Structure 1
Amino acid sequence: MPHPTVVLVHGAFSDATGWIGVIAELRSSGVPVIAPPNPLRGLASDAAYLASVLTRVEGPAVLVGHAYGGALITVAGTAENVVGLVYVAAYVPQEGESLRRLQGRCPGPPLTDHLREWTYPLHDGAPAVEVTIEETAFPSVFAADVSEEVSGALAAAQRPLAAAACTEAAAVAAWRTKPSWALVAGADRTIGPDVQRFGAARAGAVVVELPDASHAVALSEPTRVADLIRTAIRATG
């Protein structure tokens, strides 16, 4: 039986190249994989975009979400061809819950003190707010376990998240009907480990924890991330 297609969904302040090591690991095992861009403009619209990507996937799919991408797979994962959900250092909201409300269940992470707000124009010209991480703080907050060269490049290339994405409530929670797995990054300073553990436990996810991993765990530990995805593939196959 052919493998399901793995769909890797990146989170805020990054892009799909953050999955480069995971992609190489999965392809070495013969697993088909795609890593579409995440618009980072709002929970509902971003999840709708991901759902449109899923319509182009032939056969079953395993959704993998990093960080904010976890919220997107939670909503878009109700698609009929999705057979499993994998959360990587991710938010795992329930229906009716925003990321701000979920984060508020635990003490705020160091990220909170290092966000910068900017405005950008909407289609009608009205201003909206987006956030980035202070470039000097980015390595310690987001990617403490990768090289200075890589973390510096990530800081320079980070993609902003629309602030509205943090206040929109998830319309559905696919983990109520789809099996899920979660990797908790124990040294995460962007999304606190307690938030990751809480969401994963509530979803009944199979949990793997890497105590020393930063938020950039997909870059620093691609083999461990790919191993968890392969576990999900075997279980759903």
Structure 2
Amino acid sequence: MTDKPTVVLVHGAFADASSFARLIPELLADGLRVVAPAGPNRSLTGDAAYLASVVRQIPGPVVLVGHSYGGAVITVAGAEENVKALVYLAGYALEEGESLGELQGRFPASELAEALVYTPFPLDGGGEGTDVSVQVDRLPEIFAADVDPALAEVLAVTQRPLAAAAFGEAAPTAAWRTKPSWGVVATADRTINPEVERFGYRRAGMTVVELDTSHLMMLSQPARVAEVIREAVRAVRA
């Protein structure tokens, strides 16, 4: 066992762990251990169970960092005993018993709503599910407006869909009730209405930071995002 915290980075919908490519070097330069698993993006409870299995194998304290839909995932998986702090990056901070759809439904829709694509996929055991992704030509402007355009084009064609079922699934627990939490609002967010972020963070009593950035803050402002994570790490070490 070790007292040195490990930072676990949890990506959101329409992205994968490479969305942390500019943030990870900032954290490694501090001598931190970093884990950035690939989330299944199939269901809230299933994704959280997978993340919890990753967390349980890490010796010592963990700081969970969730971007976007990843915020909902850490809200559930953060109940693991060795998770000592939560950091939300333009993320969903769900209440126990609340779904993504319910939280978003409290506020006007973002530009993302009109750019979504719904694609059927086969379910194990038969039947069909629905994958949700973003129109390739719309993703750069909605998701990554302040990211290098060439990179944004790559992100658009490599996006990882989210199963539609995840939007309606209620969070069975809310780890922020018992764990210190930080929330970063993307004030220029066109993917999630920033008011959704602010509401969830205030309700949870988080330490809140606002950055003038697109949804992909960890690619456009990695140094500023790293500062917030460092604060959470310092709190755990203290």
Q: TM-score range by the shorter chain?
A: over 0.9
List structure 1 segments (4+ residues) > 2 angstroms apart after TM superposition.
Answer: none
Q: Which residue of 1 aligns with 2:104?
A: 103
- Which residue of the partner structure matches residue 230 of structure 1? 230
Cα deviation 1:75-129 (Å, max 9, x = unaligned): 0001000000000010100000000000011100000000010000010121111
Give the structure 2 partner of residue 91 of structure 1.
92
TM-score with structure 2 length normalisation? Answer: 0.98
Matched residue, 1:70: 71
Contact 2:3 2:60 in 1 (8 A): no
Whichever residue aligns with residue 93 of structure 2, its letter is V
Which residue in 1 is equivalent to 2:220?
Answer: 220
Q: Distance in 2 between matches of 1:41 and 1:92?
A: 18
Offset, 1:2: 4.8
Q: Which runs of 5+ in 1 are unaligned?
A: none
Between the two proteins, the alignment pairs up a number of residues equal to: 236
Residue 168 of structure 1 and its aligned partner are, at CA, apart by: 0.1
By how many angstroms is 1:3 displaced?
2.9
What is the DSSP-based 3-state SS (H/G/I as helix, E as strand, rest coil) of the residue aligned with 2:22?
helix
Give TM-score scaled by structure 1 length.
Answer: 0.98
Q: In the alignment, is the contact (CA less than 8 A) between 1:65 and 1:90 conserved in 2?
A: yes
* Partners of 1:34 and 1:52 in 2: CA distance: 13
- What is the aligned partner in structure 1 of residue 161 from structure 2? 160
User: In the aligned structure 2, how far is the partner of 1:58 from the partner of 1:22?
Assistant: 22
Structure 1 distance, partners of 2:176, 2:40, is 23
Q: Alignment partner of 2:160: what SS?
A: coil
| 3-state SS in 2 of match to 1:14 | coil
Q: 1:40 aligns to what?
A: 41
Alignment of 1:62-211 (within 5 A): 62-211=63-212
Q: Secondary structure at the match of 1:74?
A: helix
CA distance in 1, matches of 2:26, 2:149: 23
Cα deviation code 1:10-68 (max 9, x no counterpart): 00000001101111000000011100011000001000000000111010000000000
Aligned amino acid, residue 65 of structure 1: G
Question: Partner letter of residue 107 of structure 2?
Answer: C
Amino acid at match of 1:26: L
Superposition RMSD in Å? 0.8
Amino acid at match of 2:52: A
State the alpha-carbon separation in 1 of the partners of residues 235 and 53 from structure 2. 25
Q: Secondary structure at the match of 2:137?
A: coil
Structure 2 CA distance for aligned equivalents of residues 178 and 10 of structure 1: 20
Is contact 2:4-2:60 (8 Å) kept?
no
Q: CA deviation at 1:235?
A: 1.2
| Residue identity matched to 2:98 | E
